[in-house]
Amino acid sequence: MRRPLIAGNWKMNTKLEEAENLVRAMLAELDSIDGAEKVLCPPFISLAILKELTKTTSVKLGAQNMHFEDRGAYTGEISPLMLTDLCDFVILGHSERRQYFAETDEIINKKVKKALGSGLKPILCIGESLEDNESGKAEQIIARQVKAGLAEVSPTSQLVIAYEPVWAIGTGRAATGKQANTTINLIRSIMANLWNRETAKAVRILYGGSVTSSNIAEFIAEPEIDGALVGGASLKASEFVSIVSQTASLKSPR
């Protein structure tokens, strides 16, 4: 029922030419993989060129952030209206946005509502910090982020959630498959209470945090994990292709 999804979050990396080269280095192989949805999330400035390069392929695009208004005096921001021409997905509430750009649950909730209303599929990121984890508060933080992020959002399987424990991002210290599966199971049950069981079962929930071609199989083997949001390893063509192809072959659509 849930189609596996691998998204590459390039973060603030790649100049125009580097983005183009990176896509060219993986496009044919990615396009030929059938059993998983493939999404590249480059910096805003490269979305247009990537759209051109990927237009006749099965590779989809996402943005890394957006504003919650369509237009106006918001210097430096990018609106959903601009993105709908360029991509299908948008990453929202990444922990780096929460941490360095003071994005609150309320702001993220506005963005989720706006993205869905604009026809974009949000990849809503949630995850506890190391401190929350060590003080036993992980479940509480995750429940708050899910409930606040989805406040007044109508049940929809267009939503994607990425569980990214902050302590696993860019550290080389990934969660174990079992840990991630347990938390993702919790997220699904919170959503079932908030919405309904059926929609909660249809929403794809990804794991993110130090995913590589060497550990993806451990996550994909878990029943609740529908794919991954990949940072560093998505900047290497062979790594990303390997992550996608392992996912497609190990995870048969349910």
Which tokens belong to 174? 């990934």
Contact status: 6 vs ligand 13P (CB under 6 A): no
Give CA–CA dist 118/12, Å, rounded: 25
Q: Is 18 in the active site?
A: no
Binding span for ligand 13P by CB under 6 A among 15-23, 43-51, 162-170, 185-193? 162-170
Pick 96 or 222: Cβ nearer ligand 13P: 96
Q: What is the dihedral angle through the alpha carbons of 172, 216, 101, 115, rounded to the nearest 10 degrees?
A: 180
Q: Is 67 in the active site?
A: no
Pick 89 or 195: Cβ nearer ligand 13P: 89
Binding span for ligand 13P by CB under 6 A among 23-31, 103-111, 192-200, 209-217? 209-217
H or E element: which one contains 204?
strand 204-208
Pick 103 or 195: Cβ nearer ligand 13P: 103
- Neighbouring CB atoms inside 10 A of 100's CB total 9
Give CA–CA dist 143/249, Å, rounded: 32
Give CA–CA dist 20/166, Å, rounded: 29
Contact status: 218 vs ligand 13P (CB under 6 A): no
Cβ 6 to ligand 13P, closest distance in Å? 11
Tell me how far the alpha carbon of residue 217 is from its chain's centroid: 18
Contact status: 211 vs ligand 13P (CB under 6 A): yes
Report, as residue numbers or ranges, the catalytic residues. Answer: 94, 164
The contact set with ligand 13P (CB under 6 A) reads 9, 94, 164, 169-170, 208-211, 229-233
